[in-house]
């Protein structure tokens, strides 16, 4: 079967449903220009179905792509908004967001490059990299369920700026305590419910040892272990990540369930098995701890995660004539 025919066939049989999620109670500023099915009334009405088909093809061959794309989308939105600035490469001495330490372990960029190239062939100059990233993250996570887990309003445009200096102070860290997390989310007009629900993304994917090794070997600078971490689990982690941490070694963020997008993350939090200090921090506040308990139920988690993804996807977006529609997600368009 020719690749072109197989893609058209895949497009024709995708019939995913969607959980319609509104932006009530915590929407981020700048999202007013987004709307469902934005591209339906453009010269690329098939845009979202095309992105879905291409994403599904990639996830089928590489299931690890879902957490990678979800993390890239998250890192993009928290720094200057969901504008695909995370996708821009460094040019000369002007270091981009990609070069910031928290972003050096991101993956999935090549998948976005390929999806964008295919979309450009079908509809040149219409579909933004920012929308492709938001859609691909949703489609990759949703694929095993056979339906969309959240709605992605579209109409984003791409930034022409990406600065390494913008990352610090905007991106939540795995070392953050609860007050710091709450403050960072509030800066994006996201509330505690969003904080806990979005932390549920840690149910899939892996982390590098350096993101949590301090909890195992030198938590307070005295060669001690974080007392909020289950001792047996800590012993397992020490075997996987001996000191000093090997930068190439990774472990699943959700023990025994890191390939399944489910509520297991919230269960292990209450067992003191959250991998990061920022995970354990969710239990140090009465409100967030209560939300952790509520989100152990799948119906609650999927609804709240979907709503919070819409809220996050609205952060400081560029719409209308702001920004541009990049031809290549890694570089800005040349000025006319």
Residues marked as binding? 76, 79, 81, 83, 85, 97, 172, 202-203, 254, 262
Which H helix or E strand runs over 78? helix 65-78
Annotated binding site for substrate: 172
CB proximity list for 78: less than 8 A, separation 6 or greater: 170, 171, 172, 184, 188, 312, 315
Secondary-structure breakdown of the chain: helix, strand, coil percentages, each rounded to the nearest 5? 50, 5, 45
132/106 Cα distance (integer angstroms): 17
Annotated binding site for Ca(2+): 76, 79, 81, 83, 85, 97, 203, 254, 262
CA of residue 10 relative to chain centroid, distance: 25
Q: Kindly name the residue from 73, 75, 208, 264 that is annotated as catalytic.
A: 75
* CA distances, 66 to each of 132, 147, 181, 284 (Å): 14, 15, 24, 29
Q: Do 154 and 318 touch, CB atoms closer than 8 A?
A: no
Q: Do 173 and 102 touch, CB atoms closer than 8 A?
A: yes
Q: Do 84 and 317 touch, CB atoms closer than 8 A?
A: no
75 given a catalytic annotation? yes
Annotated binding site for heme b: 202
Give catalytic residue positions: 75
């Amino acid at each position: 079967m020719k690749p072109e025919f197989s893609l058209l066939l895949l497009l024709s049989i995708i019939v995913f449903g969607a959980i319609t999620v509104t932006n009530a109670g915590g929407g981020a500023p700048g999202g007013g220009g987004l709307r469902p099915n934005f591209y339906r009334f453009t010269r690329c009405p098939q845009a979202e179905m095309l992105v879905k088909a291409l994403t599904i093809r990639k996830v089928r061959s590489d299931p690890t792509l879902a957490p990678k794309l979800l993390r890239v989308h998250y890192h993009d939105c928290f720094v200057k908004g969901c504008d695909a600035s995370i996708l821009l490469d460094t040019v000369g001495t002007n270091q981009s967001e990609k070069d910031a330490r928290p972003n050096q372990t991101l993956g999935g960029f090549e998948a976005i490059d390929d999806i964008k190239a295919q979309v450009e062939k079908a509809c040149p100059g219409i579909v933004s990299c920012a929308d492709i990233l938001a859609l691909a993250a949703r489609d990759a996570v949703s694929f095993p369920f056979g339906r969309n887990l959240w709605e992605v309003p579209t109409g984003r445009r791409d930034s022409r700026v990406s600065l390494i200096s913008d990352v610090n102070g905007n991106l939540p860290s795995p070392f953050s305590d609860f007050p710091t997390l709450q403050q960072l989310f509030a800066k994006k007009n996201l509330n505690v419910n969003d904080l806990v629900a979005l932390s549920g993304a840690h149910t899939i994917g892996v982390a590098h040892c350096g993101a949590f090794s301090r909890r195992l070997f030198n938590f307070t600078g005295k060669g001690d272990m974080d007392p909020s971490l289950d001792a047996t689990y800590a012993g397992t982690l020490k075997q996987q990540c001996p000191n000093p941490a090997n930068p190439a070694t990774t472990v699943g963020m959700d023990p025994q369930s890191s390939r399944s997008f489910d509520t297991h993350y919230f269960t292990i939090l209450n067992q003191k098995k959250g991998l990061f200090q920022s995970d354990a921090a969710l239990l140090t506040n009465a409100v967030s701890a209560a939300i952790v308990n509520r989100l152990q139920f799948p119906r609650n988690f999927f609804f709240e995660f979907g709503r919070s993804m819409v809220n996050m996807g609205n952060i400081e977006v560029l719409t209308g004539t702001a920004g541009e529609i990049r031809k290549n997600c890694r570089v800005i368009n040349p000025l006319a």
